[in-house]
Structure 1
């Protein structure tokens, strides 16, 4: 992995030198846009609508639109005057319980690796956080951008999650949150809880895969080798479920059958198809 950032974790009076690596990657299949007639790649140019010509990067400035069509220009000198010291440290501010941090705050994940000389302090911080069950809330500057972060332990490695500031989380107040609780029947709630209980298991990420991406790869590979691509006929749309209780009962029954595959109807031998538990 390529080192993204080098600095230190500031833990009280202790500085732990670390290297930062991006912990995740997007594996979406990307396409290039081509001209249908000649298969030439489509280019995207920097075009000034006012001058009606292509411009270079040196001619471009940052502009903030404070009114429609009116901009205030911000240049590099303006940015340098902002009193923000890039200390190259991840400054731990507080320790909190992970359950108190709603997942909506998490943005991107990074691995933190100890640099030479910081191994013992790195291990000490991991052990202390593991014993207390706490995560650290910190502040860090990455590429001139200051952000909040949460440091947590996974597989004896420090992981830093950049997190949004509170004013960056949109309010759900304008959303439709459904009917009032008083309009639900007790039996409906019991059935829903029973369905969740039957579908509950330990989280195992290896059980899940991107089925669309897999099918898309198969399509691409078949076209490369010149095979004929079979297209399945569209399935009929399902109607709206009117009876919530009946839908819940059917779901609970199906979940129970999947959880207990050994139960067979009378007159049939055991050893039929078992529930698939792998990915």
Structure 2
């Protein structure tokens, strides 16, 4: 991994040199805009809206338009002069219990690695946070923008989560909140029973991204000129029933799917969704994508990239929406 930021955690008189690494990565497919006729990539020119001239990247600055229409132009030197104390420091503001922070505030996650001469204070902070069951509320500047964040201990490393500012959280302005909706005690008891029957311990490895897996199949089939996989039709919604009847049927279905075991009742439906494509996937995933050039509609531009795209799609296939299919 490549460090994207280097600085220090600062709290009290203690300073811990750290490097920041992205803790997550996206595995979604990347698509390009291309010419339908020959597959050529679409290019855009940077053109000034006032004089119509093409502008070199070195001549591009950032601008903020005022309410009166005037444009304030800012160069890199202007950003460098901002009086920000967290440019190279993670400033600890306070320590709070984790449950006090609404997950709605969280944005992205980053790993913090200590510099070679800062391992001991790093481990000290990590263990102190674990024993106190607290996390640190901090400020940090990333990409020229100061942001609120938290630092917490996750197993053997410290993790930084960037956060939204309070004024960036929207209030839910929904009409139903102004009314007085009541539910019957029997309905509430049945809903609690359904939750109990579907309860389980969260294991992220049990879930799979069905969309990504299906997209990999589609790309591979298009590259090889093979028959495209059929879309699984959703099951009909069925008759409209009252809330209590729906809850009762849901509880019965959850109990039946558990079969007396610990597995959560709602999992069988997700598994079934994946099993509908199990046959085509078992053969499609095993095919080589090296023959992408033989596709019926492959164009000259596509011949250069088709095999690579299909290869990436295939190598990127992982457990992918629903629960994993049973072995």
- TM normalised by structure 1 equals 0.86
Pairing 1:244–2:243 present: yes
**Partner of 1:43 in structure 2?**
43
Q: CA deviation at 1:117?
A: 1.1
Deviation at 1:43, TM superposition (A): 1.0
Q: Distance in 1 between matches of 2:62 and 2:239?
A: 50
1:86 positional shift: 4.9
Which residue is equivalent to 2:185?
Answer: 186
User: Match of 1:210?
Assistant: 209
TM (normalized to structure 2)?
Answer: 0.74
| Greater relative CO (CA pairs within 8 A, separation 6+) | 2
Q: Structure 2 vs 1, CA of residues 98 and 13 (structure 1 numbering), >3 Å: closer, same or farther?
A: same
Q: Which residue of 2 aligns with 1:266?
A: none
Shift of 1:67: 2.6
| Aligned length, in residue pairs | 267
Q: Within 5 Å, give how 1:230-241 maps onto structure 2.
A: 230-232=229-231, 234-235=233-234, 238=237, 241=240
Q: More strand by proportion, 1 or 2?
A: 1
Shift of 1:180: 4.9
What is residue 113 of structure 1 aligned with on the other side? 113
1:265 maps to: none
Measure the CA separation in 2 of the matches of 1:179 and 1:239: 32
- CA–CA distance in structure 1, aligned partners of residues 68 and 251 of structure 2: 55
> Any idea what the Cα deviations from partners look like across 1:114-169, whole Å, max 9, x if unmatched?
11011111111111111110000011122322111100111211000011111111
Query: What's 1:221 paired with?
Result: 220
Report the Cα distance in structure 1 between the residues aligned to 2:5 and 2:34, rounded to whole angstroms: 36
Stretch of structure 1 that moved more, 245-254 or 179-188: 179-188
**Equivalent residues in 2 for 1:130-169 (5 A)?**
130-169=130-169
CA distance in 2, matches of 1:187, 1:43: 62
CA deviation after TM superposition for structure 1 residue 107, in Å: 0.7
Q: CA deviation at 1:186?
A: 1.4
Distance 1:278 1:29, change over 3 A: closer
Q: Which runs of 5+ in 2 are unaligned?
A: 262-267, 272-322
Whole-Å Cα distance in 1 between the matches of residues 127 and 179 of structure 2? 46
Q: Does 1:122 align with 2:109?
A: no
Q: Is the 8 A contact 1:241 1:247 kept in 2?
A: no
Mean Cα deviation higher: 99-108 or 40-49: 40-49
- Deviations along 1:203-255, one digit per CA (max 9) or x if unpaired, are 11111111111111111122333321132464475368441111111111111
**Secondary structure in 1 matching 2:257:** helix
Which piece of structure 1 moves more, 141-150 or 44-53? Answer: 44-53
3-state SS of 2:16 partner:
strand
CA displacement at 1:113 relative to structure 2: 0.8
Please say if residues 106 and 161 of structure 2, whose CA atoms lie closer than 8 Å, have aligned partners that are also in contact. yes
Q: What is aligned with 1:267?
A: none
Whether 1:29 and 2:32 are equivalent positions in the alignment is no
